[in-house]
Amino acid sequence: MAENIKQMYTKQGYQDLVDELKYLKLTRREEIKEQIAVARGFGDLSENAEYDEARNEQAKVEARIQELEALIENAEIIDESAMDVRSISLGSVVKLYDEDFEEEITYSIVGSNQADPLEQKISDQSPIGRALMGKKAGDKVTVTAPAGELHFKVLEVTRANH
């Protein structure tokens, strides 16, 4: 069996996992049970699209519950208070100057399970995230990415919760 790898989370990131698990177990499971009960009332289960859909949704929710339980079990919450707030680490909010596109961009550095590029949340394991770790305001960073080399200057480093 594969060894479970500890995943780093900010306190907020960990709480988001716990909150989603609680919602799925206490609320979503009950909603799906009701949908299945209603769909059973429509008759022949072999041709019952509502029943099939409710059962598929139930399977998705149960799979996500198992995934969340594993993530929580293997989570390691970082102690943000003990960190040097001036250097980039998990939980940092980083304002960068993109020297190639001549524009400013702000990223939040999060654990890989929290990454959401559309929300400017990048993983500490992504090419840009890895290159930024430990850097401070004023540092220049070159990132080798699939699209080629990217060049940034770190303008500001702050903490997400401060």
Domain that includes residue 42, residue range: 7-77
| Token pair listed for 3 | 């060894």
Put simply, whether the predicted model's pTM sits higher than 0.85 gets the answer no
Do residues 96 and 150 share a domain?
yes
Instruction: For residue 147, tell me if it sits in a domain.
Output: yes
CATH number at residue 127: 3.10.50.30
- Separation of alpha carbons 97 and 107, rounded Å: 11
Do residues 146 and 89 share a domain?
yes
Q: Quote the pLDDT of residue 34.
A: 93
Q: Quote the pLDDT of residue 80.
A: 67
Number of structural domains the chain divides into: 2
Instruction: For residue 14, tell me if it sits in a domain.
Output: yes
pLDDT per residue of the chain (162 residues) written in tens, 0 to 9: 445 677 778 788 889 899 999 999 999 999 999 999 988 888 777 778 888 899 999 999 999 999 999 989 988 887 766 666 788 888 889 999 999 999 999 999 988 778 888 999 998 888 999 999 999 999 999 998 888 899 999 999 988 764
Which residue, 49, 77, 105, sits at the end of a domain? Answer: 77
Instruction: For residue 153, tell me if it sits in a domain.
Output: yes
CATH number at residue 39: 1.10.287.180
- E-strand spans in 88-147? 92-98, 103-110, 121-123, 140-145
- Separation of alpha carbons 69 and 58, rounded Å: 16
- Separation of alpha carbons 29 and 61, rounded Å: 8
Q: Quote the pLDDT of residue 96.
A: 95
φ, ψ of residue 82 to 5 degrees: the values are -90, 0
